[in-house]
Structures are given as C-alpha cells and as structure tokens.
Amino acid sequence: MRVIAELPHPQCKISIFSMNQKFIVKFEQGLYEQSYKISELDLTGGGVNEVFQIIDEAFIDTVVERFRTMRSDFTAAYQRQQ
C-alpha cells in the first residue's frame, strides 16, 4: 500500500492510498480513523482525480460528524467500565 495523495483539511488528516486496484481514502482525527475503499473499476477512468471529486465538503462534513459520534460512543463505553 502506498500513499498517492494527502489532502489538507483543518479538521482531519486525509490520505489516499493505492493497493490492489483500489483507492483507500483514510480520514484520521486524533485516536479515530475511518477508511473507504473505492475500486478502480468503479471509476470512469479519472483515477485519483475522480477520487478527489468524490471527497467533497459535504462528504467531509459527514465524516467529521461521524468522528464526533465515534468519540461519544467510545467515551460512553469506557465510562460504563469504570
């Protein structure tokens, strides 16, 4: 797996990897991460530029909101064990 691009964003780190005819888009925020796999065969030939189009601000907003939910879920689970 190799990194082919990194997108700057103030709320999370966004990396795009290439592996086995798939693009893997990885979002990281603190201790949490989300990844999405996109088959190269599902794209119309635009390669990584087409992946950039998929990762628009509306999508990033939902990813950031999911990070909030993940953090809340983990905090609640952790507190139940205390």
Give the pLDDT score at 57: 95
Rounded to whole angstroms, the Cα distance separating 33 from 8 reads 16
CB 11 within 8 A of CB 64: yes
CB 30 within 8 A of CB 70: no
pLDDT digits (tens, 9 = 90+) for 3-29: 999 999 999 999 999 999 999 999 999
pTM above 0.75, yes or no: yes
Q: Which residues contact 62 (CB under 8 A, 6 or more apart)?
A: none
pLDDT digits (tens, 9 = 90+) for 26-70: 999 999 999 999 999 999 987 899 999 999 999 999 999 999 999
